[in-house]
Amino acid sequence: MSVNARVEISHRGDVVAEELMDESRRKFINTCLGGVAALGATAFAAVSYPVVRYYLIPPGDKNNKGKINIPLDVLVAGEARFFEFNGTAAVVVKKQDGSLAALSAVCPHLGCIVQWEADRQDFLCPCHAGYFTADGAVISGPPPRALTKIPFTVINGVVTIG
Ligand code: FES
């Protein structure tokens, strides 16, 4: 990197020296600052999305001694419904064949909240690209074990989880 120096003499005869940054140096610094800002925004989005999503989803019936009741007919085949269970994130999936799975939504790697990928019919942990089947088994990535299963029953059209 080079620095250009400009020397001027004012109308009173004083010498005024001004160092000017080379244009390429200025561009380099601006590029670095822009890159840092972009990385920060991406990291923030990756971490905050699951948290925001988790809190936007209704927690279900909390007044049933730690159990969650969900009407069976609100569950759509191929979709997942997230909820709060005993103070943490959980999810129930109605698979394409109509069977259900109730799981902790907390990734066993480092604790991020998984996301349902309806087009792939699996879960993605956005933190380190861990993938799980709809039943919670590890497909790939760093998670050391499956998502924890939560017991549930289906009685008279109501899914009771916990
Ligand atoms: S926290 Fe889920 S893959 Fe790392």
State the pLDDT confidence band at 145, using cuts at 50, 70 and 90.
very high
- DSSP, res 124: E
Q: Which CATH number fits domain 68-161: 1.20.1290.10, 2.102.10.10, 1.20.120.1460, 3.20.20.80?
A: 2.102.10.10
- Determine whether the shortest distance from the Cβ of 128 to ligand 1 is under 6 A: yes
Q: How far is 121 from 37, CA to CA, in rounded Å? A: 34
Q: Is the dihedral of CA 61, 74, 94, 159 positive or negative?
A: positive
* Distances in whole angstroms, Cα of residue 84 to Cα of each of 68, 88, 91, 137, 162: 9, 5, 8, 21, 11
Q: Best of 103, 114, 123, 125 to mutate for ligand 1, by most ligand atoms within 8 A of CB?
A: 125
Token output for 20 = 């000017």
Residue from 49, 103, 128 whose mutation best tests the ligand 1 pocket (most atoms within 8 A of CB): 128
Whole-model pTM: value is 0.64
pLDDT tens track for 46-60: 555 555 554 444 554
Centre of ligand 1 from the C-alpha of residue 60, in Å: 26
The answer, yes or no, to whether any atom of ligand 1 lies below 6 A from the CB of 46, is: no
Of residues 34 and 90, which shows the higher confidence score? 90
For residue 105, the model assigns a pLDDT of 98
106 CA to centre of ligand 1 in angstroms: 9
Looking at the predicted structure, is the pLDDT value of residue 98 above 60?
yes
Across-strand partners of 89? 84
Q: Which two tokens stand for residue 58?
A: 């209704």
Q: Which numbered atom of ligand 1 lies nearest the CA of 143?
A: 3
